[in-house]
Amino acid sequence: MSAELQSKAAKLFADRFGTVPDAVNFAPGRVNMIGEHVDYNDGLVLPMPVREGTAVGWSRVGGDGFEVVAADFGEDDSFSGEPDKPGEVSWRSYVRGMIAESELGSGGMRMLITGDLSRGSGLSSSASLCIAIGRALAQAGGVEIAPVDLARAAQRTEHNWAGVACGIMDQMAVAAGEPGHAMLLDCRDLTYSHRAVPEGWAVLITDSGVTRGLVDGEYNIRRAQCEAAAAALGVASLRDASLEQVAAAGLDEVTRRRALHVIAEIERTRDAAGALATGDLAEFGEILRGGHVSLRDMFEVSVPAVDAVVTELQAAIGAEGGARMTGGGFGGAVVAVLAADRVGELKRATGREFLRVH
Ligand code: GLA
């Protein structure tokens, strides 16, 4: 957590409640380098935590209620006992959901939430919020919770309180990621390893300017299509399917494309982890470019504005690195990887603003 965010959360808490918080907990957002729409197919993913995220200042008070302030929205929430679902999905759904799903909080808490992660840009602001709340609840209750359990509670919150049938990549990257490292996560058994990003590489994010909207329905449709593909191929998940099986199966065109993306994307993630280990930037860039084409044409989750940003960045970067859409799609962020000493050149060539992840 940046020093500014920490002191901002403490100050806003004190302004609101008249006391200093007992503690401020933090959870970052994440960017995914490669391995898109494969987490819910038991695949491999390679996300990285970003520096920005969500801070929760809190203190214990008497009673069994919760008083929660979302400072960035200028909104409050208060309840006691088992929280109900709010009428529509909002930040309240995530806070209440995390309290209910993690079973970590017994109430008697004031919390103030603030963050420096832009919402709707595909950097997992909701997973960041859930994990930050979970950390605050655990510390306030004096309990230790394993990152995997925190991630699972946050995923249940998305499923049961926000209606998004997401995989577990975002929650795992946020709960267990290590700054400056990519995380090679096997979404089948949740084993992972932290992979150092070479010193001489830069990982950058730029916002396409298109806020993800109405995506949850599309997301859930993609997941259902993948499950239908796995069922038609007679496998437990697309992780177990091969390109040959898809070619022989006579799937309808849409189902066939979805399956081909997932199978190739899992392979790309494996290859990208190899290129990261050997520091092969040209190979890594080629994998990113291939990943974008597949998300655009086979999985059909990109939008023209994002494609335009990717094309612009790829032209400026050339063969030594690459760029692609990152996250669920339908807008949001683009990730770019290139030699660290070329970042100034990329900024001048594109006139764009970037968040530096590494
Ligand atoms: C969203 C979901 C993740 C994952 C990505 C696509 O971020 O929350 O579980 O499926 O989309 O890779």
Q: Give me the domains of the chain, ranges plus CATH numbers.
A: 3-29+51-179 (3.30.230.10), 194-356 (3.30.70.890)
**Separation of CA 141 and ligand 1 centre (Å):** 30
| Ligand 1 atom closest to the CA of 164, numbered from 1 | 8
| pLDDT at 224 (0 to 100) | 96
| pLDDT at 213 (0 to 100) | 58
**CB of 169 within 8 A of CB of 185?**
yes
User: Could you give the CA distance from residue 110 to residue 287 in angstroms, rounded to a whole number?
Assistant: 46
To test the pocket of ligand 1, the residue of 37, 190, 216 to mutate (highest count of ligand atoms within 8 Å of its CB) is 37
| Ligand 1 atom closest to the CA of 32, numbered from 1 | 12
**Separation of CA 327 and ligand 1 centre (Å):** 6
Q: Is the CB of 166 under 6 A from ligand 1?
A: yes
**CB of 68 within 8 A of CB of 136?**
no
pLDDT tens for the chain, 358 residues long, are: 889 999 999 999 999 999 999 999 999 999 999 999 999 999 999 999 999 999 999 999 989 999 999 999 999 999 998 899 999 999 999 999 999 999 998 789 999 999 999 766 789 999 999 999 999 999 999 999 999 999 999 999 999 999 989 999 999 999 999 999 999 999 999 999 999 999 999 999 999 988 875 456 899 999 999 999 999 999 999 999 999 999 999 999 999 999 999 999 999 999 999 999 999 999 999 999 999 999 999 999 999 999 999 999 999 999 999 999 999 999 989 999 999 999 999 999 999 999 999 9
To test the pocket of ligand 1, the residue of 34, 117, 170, 330 to mutate (highest count of ligand atoms within 8 Å of its CB) is 170
Q: What pTM, to 2 d.p., does this model score?
A: 0.96
**CB of 174 within 8 A of CB of 327?**
no
Name the closest-CA residue to atom 9, ligand 1. Answer: 167
To test the pocket of ligand 1, the residue of 166, 216, 223, 324 to mutate (highest count of ligand atoms within 8 Å of its CB) is 166
| Cβ-based neighbours of 137, under 8 Å, separated by 6 or more | 98, 99, 102, 104, 105, 109
Length of the chain (residues): 358
| pLDDT at 312 (0 to 100) | 98
- Other residues' Cβ atoms within 10 Å of the Cβ of residue 271: 17
Name the closest-CA residue to atom 2, ligand 1. Answer: 166
Q: Is the CB of 36 under 6 A from ligand 1?
A: yes
| pLDDT at 210 (0 to 100) | 86
Name the closest-CA residue to atom 11, ligand 1. Answer: 328
| pLDDT at 120 (0 to 100) | 62
| pLDDT at 145 (0 to 100) | 95
| pLDDT at 214 (0 to 100) | 47
Active site annotation includes 170: yes
**Separation of CA 225 and ligand 1 centre (Å):** 15
| Ligand 1 atom closest to the CA of 36, numbered from 1 | 12
Nearest to 102 by CA among 122, 83, 76: 83
CA dihedral angle for residue 225, residue 154, residue 169, residue 352, rounded to 10 degrees: 100
